[in-house]
Chains A and B, each alone.
Chain A
Amino acid sequence: MACVYIPVQNSEEEVRVALDQLPRDASDILDILKAEQAPLDLWLIIAREYFKQGKIEQFRQILEEGSSPEIDEYYAEVRYERIAILNALGAYYTYLGKIETKNRKIETKHREKEEHFIMATQYYNKASRIDVHEPSTWVGKGQLLLAKGEVEQASSAFKIVLDADRDNVPALLGQACAEFNRGRFSDSLELYKRALQVYPDCPGAVRLGIGLCRYKLGQFEKARRAFQRALQLDPENVEALVALAIMDLHPNEASGIRKGMQKMQRAFEIYPYCAMALNYLANHFFFTGQHFLVEQLTETALAVTNHGPTKSHSYYNLARSYHSKGDYEKSGLYYMASVKEINKPHEFIFPYYGLGQVQLKLGDFRSALTNFEKVLEIYPDNCETLKSLGHIYVQLGQIEKGQEFMKKAAKIDARDAEAFTDLGELLISSDTSAALEAFKTARTLMKKGGQEVPIEVLNNIGVLHFEKEEFELAQQVFMEALGDGIWLTLLDNKVNIYAIDASASILQYKDMQLFRRLEEDGHSVELPWNKVTVLFNLARLLEQFNNTEAASILYRVILFKYPDYIDAYLRLAAISKARNNLQLSIELVNEALKVNGKYPTALSMLGDLELKNDDWVKAKETFRAASDATDGKDSYATLSLGNWNYYAALRNEKRAPKLEATHLEKAKELYTRVLIQHTSNLYAANGAGVVLAEKGHFDVSKDIFTQVQEAASGSVFVQMADVWINLAHVYFAQGNFALAVKMYQNCLRKFYHNTDAQILLYLARTHYEAEQWQDCKKTLLRAIHLAPSNYTLRFDAGVAMQKFSASTLQKTKRTADEVRSTVAELENAVRVFSQLSAGSNLHLHGFDEKKINTHVEYCKHLLEAAKVHREAAEREEQQNRQRQEAARQVALAEEARRKAEEQKKYLLEKRKQEDEQKRVRQLEENFERVKEQWKSSTSASKRRERPENDDEEGGHSEKRRRKGGKRKRKDKSSRSRYETQEEEADMMDDQDELEDEDANMNYRETTHQMDDQDDAAGENAQDLLAAAGLEDSDAEDEMAAPSSTAVRRRQALSESDDDEQPNPIRDNTDSDGEVRDDNDKPDEDAGLDDD
């Protein structure tokens, strides 16, 4: 046991003080020291001992006493010891100050720290006053400056010492430390080395310094040896142990980590309060998932260390631990604490990343953004950070910037499938092609890496192909995603062997027997949850291929296994709706509503179906419910309500203008509301256009329709036939028939496969207005062929033929052929009307018999007239023919005469020639006379032309005669025209208002489809129009039920109105001045007066 002996003054005796038994009260010792005037080095020894034992108070008491003025006075000669005491005090305060440096948190402590440093400075200055050259004082000062962080000055202090004695070990060490702090590791290393040379037995700390320098210089092997040597010298050297452990850990190899952790553990066992070791242990346990240990260790570490970076590390560990446990609030706080301990982000960046993640999780995007950006500054190529930033920018709405980051991330690590997946997900909403590329790259990478491609990625690829209309590819991908399963059996058409009872087949889309039977037959009907979506998408695709049967089986298998899958119900409902099986469709939607009674899509669909089913009140309630379910934010429901109001405005057969106006106003308000929410909602715009057109603002509505049409044609997913029709209606209303016709025709071809009788009716009406009777008739015949049970069309065809005939008979110039075709047409019209008349007894349609009979009578009457005309025309023709014949006869006679003449002449000539020959032979000298005869033969050839001229003259006279005939005919025609006009005038009054209604009806019909908007359920409303047409005639039937003739008449008229427009009276009335036969069938007029 170490002892000190305090010599007793004036004696040879000594007081023996056992160093481990120093009295608790330092005053006792002080008394002895003072009393015996013990040498100052004893004071120092005792003070140091107290310090070693941690009795700081006693230590300070002794030293302070030892540096008191009395002592200075008394021991004035003993300079070195006095300096030593002062230096010791200086060092002590430096230490205190250093501790405080680390505890920067509190303001008061900060001040204390300053005070400590001031004290230390005072002591050192005092020491300096005793001896300026004392190296230990300078070393002390240097240490103080180092502690204060004034590295340059510290270095110069050490330099003073070293200049005096270049082998001063403490100064060397001090300088080395200064150099180390200045980052000049090689200089520092040199200094350490010299210290070692000068003082080979110096403590392990020097080796540690060398090791650290080497480590910093990257000479890991040498560093390791230095640490090991330090450890040899002092097996308990925790720092060396920790340093070695860190070096073991860093290469990140399993064996290294194990060794490293063993060392850490030993360090922990030796000295449980080494923060560094604690942090590393905590780190280790974090990775092994022992969060409890992590917390304990880091808490200890935090308690024992004041070193900023270490604390930061500890906080980081703690934060991470909470982070991984999902306690974002707490982990956020600790990350924050960790970040606070860091001066510059590049010292320790991880907490920033962690903090960013937590903030991202908590939705604080801006803060997360700044943190991630800090990380990116240091690691500009860090994929994870780039991806996180990308996500944040997307969340913040800066899509382009987000994509930029994502693309960068994907570019940096071209083998990171995840980056591409993320990129793809990001791009889905903005750029489907690029997204598809990204997903495909991801898939290829995963395949190359031998990884199984996740179903989600395949699903996304499939959907993107689907959206790009690459259906085959989409199918391949979906099948790949699905792999093997029951669906293969289902798609193989093998299930069709199970026949369904035809009477039960009305429920075929609800049938689940199929799967039970399959199960009974030993197939296992299994559907893993992660494949449901893919299967659903495949079914959608099959629908696209029009393979609705297979699609329905897939939807049903989904429902068989997952009866809560609402969308499958809705698709099945949509399929049966498309097949016009409304009852089944409603049942299916109700199934969906059983799962979730507030599902807005299902409610909207139900409303739609109810409307189709003519259940107006219910439909309105359902639409309301749908709207309420989404707080009015669902534009579909709002639009549906708008449409409802619109239909309601025009539906009422007893037209109440006030009610109509309210409904229209309401509809307009609803459309506008949707437009405010979604400025680009085509359906709302279309609706608004319709309301405007309804009010007669054709120019505005035309603009709207044109824009909607342009917008709609840009997307393959929007099928807006109605806007085409509406536009055509506007053209029609503005009298631009040619364009209207083109528009209707294009619409028919583009959207309806030419199958829509209603549009054909519009088309026919346009032809009618344009007075293209034959086109009108042909169009109506086509419509009848498409919709055979729509008798209205037959009536219209009859009217068209009647009109055609009347107008032909009115014409001033007619050929017999025209009249003949008029007669034929009238006969057809009579037949059509008669058939309708006969049919009306059987209540096949809602026409009034009387009305039809009026038409029959009128046509018959026209027919009579026309027959007369025909006969006249035929007679005329006959006469003409006869005349022509006669003329021809004349011509022929002429010809014959001419020919005979010629013959005669020929013979004459021949004879003459013969004579001549004779004469020549006989009388050559008579040559002159022969010449004369030749001349006479040429004049005969001139005469030959004359008969042709005669022919011409005959032609002229014929024409003249024809003209005369025409005049006669004109007289007759004026009569018939008069009748027509009579009729028109009679009908005009009714028609004027009815025409409006009719136009309205057209609009109403077409807008039926508007509700077919974005279509979450994707129901296809192509048949809506057809159904609307049917519904309409049904309505007519209902209306016909009351036997009031007046009402019925009106309906019939309103129907016929499709075609019977009041013709503007043309003013070629000059012929009206001519003779009129007023006695022409007065009963006909009387019949019409009944109107």
Chain B
Amino acid sequence: MKLAGLKSTENAHDESVWAATWVPATDNRPALLLTGSLDETVKLWRADELDLERTNTGHCLGVVSVAAHPSGVIAASASLDSFVRVFDVDTNASIATLEAPPSEVWQMQFDPKGTTLAVAGGGSASVKLWDTATWKLIASLSIPRPEGPKPSDKSNSKKFVLSVAWSPDGRRLACGSMDGTISVFDVARAKFMHHLEGHSMPVRSLVYSPIDARVLFSASDDTHVHMYDAEGKSLVGAMSGHTSWVLSVDVSPDGAAIATGSSDRTVRLWDLSMRAAVQTMSNHTDQVWGVSFRPVGCNGNRGGRLASVSDDKSISLYGYS
């Protein structure tokens, strides 16, 4: 397996690019790349030339995360001012504006069926679930406070939720927090199940393997990527190699590889059969905040694609094979 650089767009945004995801293809257009930036805009790009499709404005403060509905019709973007904007991908018509004060908004993800949007709620130590039909808050999955005589503010702030991930079957939801713990929830019963330990620094990105609903990958500031059996509570493997924080992790559609983006300015490709980095891309000149594999579509996507976005304001596109 390898990555081959296809296209790099300098100054894709006016400021650091902080978030990226692929909007799945619809019947009348191919998959698009959705990026969010500190410059308060969200942009849509057409592969493979990274032609700018549209620039969405309307956010204040930086855009910290973007998420696309599995249908490819709608998408969500969230900014530091804790608003989530849901919009129609093709028309940019606003569908809803979500907020659940005082909880902030960090990573977001639509569930695989597209009925729920999960939003990492930061200091509220919870994940907010929004119904995608009514855009009403349907649940708030809270991380239980650790047992102890005095549940102090201190420990609470450490359960600050940064990242979320849905299992491919949509039954489980995992969230990562500032103190490095990962919490796993049973979505159907809206119940906390258990913690996964091993990190002691913020977990900024989580992703489930598309081929095994038990396997969860986590990226942490401790420079490691962990591979957990999320059901069996066990740490299957730890992968080290980045020299600074691992900011983002995504798994390839075939489930054979993961890609990571790091503060060390590199994008790495890891072969899961060897559990080792097989390739390091160092084309970015600043922290790589997001990596995203293009989902396999029905209408003949030739070859896999990986996109990475960085503080250096650029977007890079790679072929994955």
List A residues at the B interface (Cβ < 8 Å): 493, 496, 499-503, 505-506, 508, 545-550, 576, 578-582, 752-755, 778, 781-782, 784-785, 788-789, 791, 797, 824, 827-828, 831-832, 834-835, 838-839, 841-846, 1023, 1033-1034, 1037-1038, 1040
From B16, B123, B199, B311, give the contact of A844 (CB < 8 A): B123
Quick check: B311 and A505 within 8 Å, CB to CB?
Answer: no
Beyond the given pairs A549-B240, A824-B60, 9 more chain A to chain B contacts, judged by CB atoms under 8 angstroms and listed by A's residue number, are A499-B232, A501-B234, A508-B235, A548-B224, A548-B240, A549-B238, A752-B244, A781-B38, A1034-B157
B229 touches A499 (CB 8 A): yes
Task: Confirm or deny: B243 has a beta carbon within 8 angstroms of a beta carbon on chain A.
Answer: yes
Question: Is B287 part of the contact surface with A, judged by Cβ < 8 Å?
Answer: yes
Q: How far is the CA of A341 from the CA of B238 in the complex (A)?
A: 74
Residue in contact with B104 in the complex, picked from A493, A547, A835, A1038, CB distance below 8 Å: A835
Partner of A831 from the list B81, B242, B265 (CB cut-off 8 Å) is B81
Write out the residue numbers on chain A whose beta carbons fall within 8 Å of the beta carbon of B154.
Answer: 1034, 1037-1038
CB distance A580 to B201 under 8 Å?
yes
- Cβ of B186 under 8 Å from chain A: no
Contact check, B157 vs A580: say whether CB atoms are below 8 A apart. Answer: no
Does B2 interact with chain A (Cβ within 8 Å)? no
Give bound CA distance, A506 to B275, whole Å: 20
Q: Can you list 26 A-B contacts with CB-CB less than 8 angstroms, sorted by A residue number?
A: A496-B275, A499-B229, A501-B234, A503-B233, A505-B234, A506-B197, A546-B241, A548-B240, A579-B224, A752-B244, A753-B243, A753-B244, A754-B311, A755-B263, A778-B38, A785-B18, A828-B81, A831-B60, A832-B81, A835-B102, A835-B104, A838-B102, A839-B123, A845-B123, A1033-B157, A1037-B153
Q: Find residues 208-231 in chain B having any chain A CB closer than 8 Å to their own CB.
A: 221-224, 228-229
Q: Is the CB of A580 within 8 A of B233?
A: no
B81 contacts A844, C-beta separation under 8 Å: no
With A and B bound together, what is the CA distance between A506 and B18 in angstroms? 31
- With a cutoff of 8 Å between Cβ atoms, the chain B residues found around residue A1040 in the complex are 153
Chain A residues with CB below 8 A from B101, complex form: 834-835, 838
Residues of B with Cβ closer than 8 Å to A? 15-16, 18, 38, 60-62, 64, 80-82, 101-102, 104, 106, 122-124, 152-154, 156-158, 160, 162, 178, 180, 195-201, 221-224, 228-229, 232-245, 263-265, 274-276, 286-287, 311
Contact A546–B287 (Cβ < 8 Å) = no
- B221 neighbours in A (Cβ, 8 Å): 580, 755
| Docked-complex contact A755 and B240, CB < 8 angstroms | no
Query: Lowest 10 A-B CB distances belong to which pairs?
Result: A838-B102, A753-B244, A580-B200, A579-B222, A789-B160, A753-B263, A839-B102, A581-B200, A505-B235, A844-B123
Q: How many Å lie between the Cα of A570 and that of B180 in the bound state?
A: 23
Residues of A within 8 A of B122 (CB): 788-789
Which residue on chain A has the smallest CB distance to residue B82?
A: A835
Tell me whether A843 and B153 are in contact (CB under 8 A): yes
Chain B residues lying within 8 Å of A581, measured Cβ to Cβ, are: 200
Contact of B199 among A579, A789, A841 (CB under 8 A): A579
In the bound complex, residues from chain B placing their C-beta under 8 Å from that of A1033 are 157
| Docked-complex contact B81 and A755, CB < 8 angstroms | no
Pick the residue among A789, A832, A1038 that contacts B123 (CB under 8 A): A789
**Residue on A nearest B18 in the bound complex, by CB:** A785
CB distance from B63 to the nearest CB of A (A): 10
When C-beta atoms are compared, the residue in chain B nearest to A585 turns out to be B200
B61, B235, B243: which has the most chain A beta carbons within 10 Å?
A: B61
B-chain residues with CB within 8 Å of residue A578 when the two chains form the complex: 222-223
Q: Is the interface of A mostly helix, strand, loop or mixed?
A: helix
Choose among A581, A844, A1034 the residue with the greatest number of B CB atoms under 10 Å from its CB.
Answer: A844
Question: Known contacts A493-B276, A505-B198, A505-B235; is A788 also within 8 Å of B245 by CB?
Answer: no
A782, A791, A827, A841: which has the most chain B beta carbons within 10 Å?
Answer: A782
B286 touching A754, Cβ below 8 Å: yes
Cβ–Cβ < 8 Å partners of A797 in chain B:
61
Minimal beta-carbon separation of A770 from chain B (angstroms): 20
B16 to chain A, nearest CB (A): 7
Residues from chain B with Cβ under 8 Å of A506 in the complex? 197-198
CB distance from A305 to the nearest CB of B (A): 75
State the CA gap A502–B239 with chains docked (Å).
15
Which residues of the partner chain A approach B178 to less than 8 Å between Cβ atoms? Answer: 788-789
Chain A residues closer than 8 Å to B224, beta-carbon distance: 548-549, 579
Q: How far is the CB of B270 from chain A (nearest CB, A)?
A: 12
Closest B residue by C-beta to A839 = B102
B264 touching A791, Cβ below 8 Å: no
Set of chain A residues within 8 Å of B274, measured between Cβ atoms? 493
In the complex, which residues of chain A have a beta carbon less than 8 angstroms from the beta carbon of B311? 754
> With A778-B15, A788-B160 known to touch, is A842 a contact of B124 (CB < 8 Å)?
yes
Give chain A residues whose Cβ lies under 8 Å from the Cβ of B64: 785
Counting chain B CB atoms within 10 Å of each CB, the highest count among A500, A545, A548, A788 belongs to A788
* List of B residues within 8 angstroms of A789 by Cβ: 122-123, 157-158, 160, 178
Contact A502 B123 (CB under 8 A): no
| A781 contact set on B, CB distance < 8 A | 38, 61-62, 80
Complex Cα–Cα for A838 and B157 (A): 15
| Chain A residues near B239 (CB-CB < 8 A) | 549
Instruction: List chain B residues, Cβ under 8 A from A791.
Output: 123
Q: Could you tell me if A782 and B16 are in contact, using CB atoms closer than 8 angstroms?
A: yes
Please determine whether A784 and B233 come into contact, CB atoms closer than 8 angstroms.
no
Alpha-carbon separation in the docked complex, A824 to B245 (Å)? 34
Q: Is the CB of B234 within 8 A of A753?
A: no
Q: Could you tell me if B222 and A580 are in contact, using CB atoms closer than 8 angstroms?
A: yes
A778 to B38, CA, bound (A): 8
How many angstroms between the C-alpha atoms of A839 and B153 in the bound complex? 12
Once A502-B228, A548-B240 are accepted as A-B contacts, the answer to whether A844 and B102 lie under 8 Å apart by CB is: yes
Residue among B82, B158, B198 with max Cβ neighbours from chain A (10 Å): B198
Q: In whole angstroms, how far apart are the Cα atoms of A546 and B264 in the complex?
A: 12
User: Nearest-CB distance from A442 to chain B (Å)?
Assistant: 34
- In the bound assembly, the distance between CA atoms of A755 and B276 in angstroms comes to 25
Q: Determine the chain B residues whose CB is within 8 A of the CB of A834 once the complex forms.
A: 101
Pick from A508, A579, A828, A841: contact of B201, CB under 8 Å: A579
Closest CB in chain B relative to A53 CB, distance in Å: 96
How far apart are A1054's CB and chain B's nearest CB, in angstroms?
18
Contact of B245 among A496, A755, A782, A832 (CB under 8 A): A755
Which residue of B16, B198, B241 is within 8 Å of A508 (Cβ)? Answer: B198
A238 to B80, CA, bound (A): 108
A844 and B157 form a contact (CB under 8 A): yes
Task: Say which residue of B16, B156, B235, B241 sits within 8 Å of A499 (CB atoms).
Answer: B235
Residues of A within 8 A of B18 (CB): 785
In whole Å, how far is A300's beta carbon from the nearest beta carbon of chain B? 73
Does B240 lie within 8 Å of A546, measured CB to CB? Answer: yes
Neighbouring B residues of A493 by C-beta, 8 Å: 274-276
- Contact call A753/B233, Cβ cutoff below 8 A: no
By a CB distance below 8 angstroms, the chain B residues around A778 are 15, 38
**A501 with B233: in contact, given A547-B240, A1037-B154 (CB under 8 Å)?**
yes
Are B200 and A502 touching (Cβ within 8 A)? no
Are B197 and A505 interface neighbours, CB within 8 A? Answer: yes
Whether A844 lies near B153 (C-beta < 8 A) is yes
Q: Closest CB-CB distance, A428 to chain B, in whole Å?
A: 28
Closest chain A residue to B233, Cβ basis: A502
* B239 and chain A: residue at smallest CB distance: A549
Q: Are A788 and B60 in contact (CB under 8 A)?
A: no
A580, B198: Cα distance in complex, Å:
11
A500 touches B235 (CB 8 A): yes
Task: Determine the distance from Cα of A788 to Cα of B61 in the docked complex, in whole angstroms.
Answer: 14
Expressed in whole angstroms, the minimum distance between the Cβ of A588 and any Cβ of chain B is 14
- The residues of B that contact A579 with a CB separation of less than 8 Å are 199-201, 222-224
> A496, A838, A846, A1040 — which one has the most chain B CB atoms within 10 A of its CB?
A496
Q: How far is the CA of A493 from the CA of B275 in the complex (A)?
A: 7
The smallest C-beta distance from B53 to any residue of chain A, in angstroms, reads 25
Least distance between A867 CB and chain B CB atoms (Å) = 16
Picked from A508, A754, A827, A838, the residue with its CB within 8 Å of the CB of B60 is: A827
Known: A579-B200, A754-B263. A502 touches B81 (CB 8 A): no
Residues of A within 8 A of B237 (CB): 496, 499
Report how far A835 CA is from B104 CA in the complex, Å: 9
